[in-house]
Amino acid sequence: MDALDMVNGLGKQMPGFVWMMEGSGEPGTGNTENKIGGDPCAISNLTVWEDVESLERFVWGTVHRKFYERRREWFELLGEMHFVMWFVPLGDRPSLDEALARLALRQAKGDTDQAFGWEYLRAAKMYKTHRCAAG
């Protein structure tokens, strides 16, 4: 939690970053106040990027990766798919409800043009060589 502001701040300064859904803005809370279904253990992380390459540079090419690799120390292993991406129209700021609907679509149908993971993106190059172990 102590590194949330630093990692989020870095993301916001990266080329290609567009928008991030914010919580209260209180230091160290990141987006942790956007709980899913009122569950304090289920928080969301919703960002918009100009392109896949920009997102990959942040996820796999910055200090973000070091924290991601240690996620098992802070998060319970979820038994179901909990990650989704989709293409957002220019200027759009998706809501948490939209993100949850996209996640449900991916859970039900797998990767589609409307909801997908890294594997679905041909332009995702760093993911293929830098991704972390499953879990």
pLDDT tens column, 101-131: 999 999 999 999 999 999 999 888 888 877 6
Does residue 135 belong to any structural domain of this protein?
A: no
Q: Are 89 and 14 in contact (CB under 8 A)?
A: no
Rounded to 5 degrees, what angle do the CA atoms 50, 54, 55 make? 95
- Residue 38 to residue 29: CA distance in whole angstroms: 16
Tally of structural domains, the chain: 1
- Dihedrals φ, ψ of 112, to 5°? -135, 175
Does residue 96 belong to any structural domain of this protein?
A: yes
Residue-number span of the structural domain to which 70 is assigned: 4-130
According to DSSP, residue 14 is labeled: S
pLDDT tens, position by position, 27-81? 555 555 556 777 766 777 889 999 999 999 998 888 877 877 777 787 666 667 7
Does residue 58 belong to any structural domain of this protein?
A: yes
Q: Are 124 and 56 in contact (CB under 8 A)?
A: yes
